[in-house]
Amino acid sequence: EAGVAQSPRYKIIEKRQSVAFWCNPISGHATLYWYQQILGQGPKLLIQFQNNGVVDDSQLPKDRFSAERLKGVDSTLKIQPAKLEDSAVYLCASSLGGARETQYFGPGTRLLVL
């Protein structure tokens, strides 16, 4: 079974630029999550989708971050404009059902904002 795929694996941009990350969850998984992991910390949930609807985006900085999950499969996370403090690893995860089920994580996208 293929795992969660993410791209790109690494990205370096300058502040105020825009960046987009892509995630392809495990086939058949209804729930998709985006987490932000700052160096030395645990992952923090940014947004949770159930199929193509948003379940929780309470911790998403909506003035600069946006995410979508068209057709309930792939998802993109965008930052526009980026700030220095956005430097982190962005992890995508998926689960078969809701949050009570095991989440499977992708390898992450490491973002460096200069």
Binding site residues, another protein, CB under 8 A: 4, 33, 35, 40-45, 48, 55-56, 91, 93, 98-100, 102-108, 110
Q: Which is nearer to another protein, 64 or 110 (CB)?
A: 110
Q: How far apart are CA 36 and CA 109, in angstroms?
A: 10
Residue 52: left if φ>0, alpha if ψ -120 to 50, beta else—which one? alpha
State the minimum distance, in angstroms, from the CB of residue 30 to another protein: 13
Q: Which is nearer to another protein, 77 or 91 (CB)?
A: 91
Q: Which is nearer to another protein, 67 or 93 (CB)?
A: 93
